[in-house]
Structure 1
Amino acid sequence: MLFPIRVRPTALIIENDSVLLIEYNNPEKGVHYFLPGGGAEEGETIKETVRRELLEETMAEVTVGSVAFLCECEPQKRVIEYSPLDHVLFIVFECQLAAGSNPRLPDLPDKYQTAVKWVPLTELHTINLMPDMEELILTFAKEKKSVAFLEDHVVRNLTSEVI
């Protein structure tokens, strides 16, 4: 029996001590927030997924940097109600908005998506952030320590250039 883990590349964009979040208002769960991101499509790298999802959800373009942190949500060990109920690994990339990009709600937003918001870091504890990454976001904002991320196609290209 297979127990797949859904990989969800996401963007962490912090500017002026605020983080960019997607607001949803679901009749069952009420108002809640996610970092922008989503599932990879066939043939796309996870960094490409972050760029595409951010454009779809916020109409903004970004430069995808290093991995800020990882967050695993396993249904059997979940302590709060969370949707979807899949086993999910969030790969959270530090991102920078491209010059001239102004995040906004798209003309055709995702179901239940109601806003694109800058939430002050000092107010993260007041919202329903899914999953609850508040401490990870605050720690990264303060320390800026990244996680190593290896892209094999980049390593191969660097190795072939050296030879």
Structure 2
Amino acid sequence: MTDDVQGDRPPVTRPAGFVEPEIYYAGLPAAYVAAGALITDPTGRVLLVKPHYLDHWLMPGGTADEGEPPEATCAREVKEEIGLDLPVGPLLLVGWAPARAPRPRPIVTFIFDGGELDGPERIRLQEDELDDHAFFPPDEARRRLGRVGRRLPPALHARETKIPYYLSEA
């Protein structure tokens, strides 16, 4: 045990092997954070966007900036990607996926209810990142989402039941 003297306060006794918080936290594993919105039209079709850099489609959303809460990430990314300032609704799904090349760390994804849009006419794509957008029936949307398509059915179910879902892709 070591004793630290701190002015007029009594000494603090720390157990052997104590690690300063800055060192402890710097040594913990880290994960990326992403957030997206489940947006549908009145018939239940799901809005997807097609990034230039991927071979599959995605729900509008993206990765968090340093210290940014997931709901703020969702709102910011939806505004950047499709030009709409939509309210972020309830959390529908939290997904965890392990590190997978080229991503060197796990990722935690939050999917929020982005509500319903009457149609695509108000959408303005972020053209430097996205090629296209469209509404698809849920089965077609799931197929176009590729590996992350397994998140769609539980997110849709959570929207109906008002019970968020956790999905591990371990």
> Shared topology, TM-score over 0.5?
yes
CA distance in 2, matches of 1:127, 1:18: 13
Identity of aligned residues (%): 24
Where in structure 2 are the equivalents of 1:83-94 lying within 5 Å? 84=103, 86-94=105-113
Cα-Cα RMSD: 3.0
CA distance in 2, matches of 1:99, 1:44: 30
In the alignment, is residue 19 of structure 1 matched against residue 52 of structure 2?
Answer: no
Larger relative CO (CA 8 A, sep 6+): 1 or 2? 1
Relative to 1, partners in 2 of residues 1:131 and 1:84: Cα closer, same or farther, differing over 3 Å? farther
In the alignment, is residue 9 of structure 1 matched against residue 35 of structure 2?
Answer: yes
Q: Match of 1:102, as an amino acid?
A: R
Gaps of 5+ in 2: 1-26, 166-170
- Number of aligned residues: 136
CA distance in 2, matches of 1:20, 1:99: 11
CA distance in 2, matches of 1:146, 1:109: 36
CA displacement at 1:11 relative to structure 2: 0.9
Where in structure 2 are the equivalents of 1:4-153 lying within 5 Å? 4-15=30-41, 16-26=43-53, 31-42=55-66, 44-75=68-99, 84=103, 86-96=105-115, 102-106=122-126, 108-110=127-129, 113-132=130-149, 133-140=151-158, 143-147=160-164
TM-score calculated relative to the size of structure 2: 0.65
Gaps of 5+ in 1: 77-81, 149-163
Question: Which deviates more, 123-132 or 6-15?
Answer: 123-132
User: What SS is found at the alignment partner of 2:81?
Assistant: helix
Larger radius of gyration: 2
CA contact (8 A) 2:48 2:141 kept: no
CA contact (8 A) 2:30 2:106 kept: yes
CA distance in 1, matches of 2:94, 2:36: 10
Relative to 1, partners in 2 of residues 1:128 and 1:37: Cα closer, same or farther, differing over 3 Å? closer
User: What SS is found at the alignment partner of 1:13?
Assistant: strand
CA distance in 1, matches of 2:61, 2:113: 12
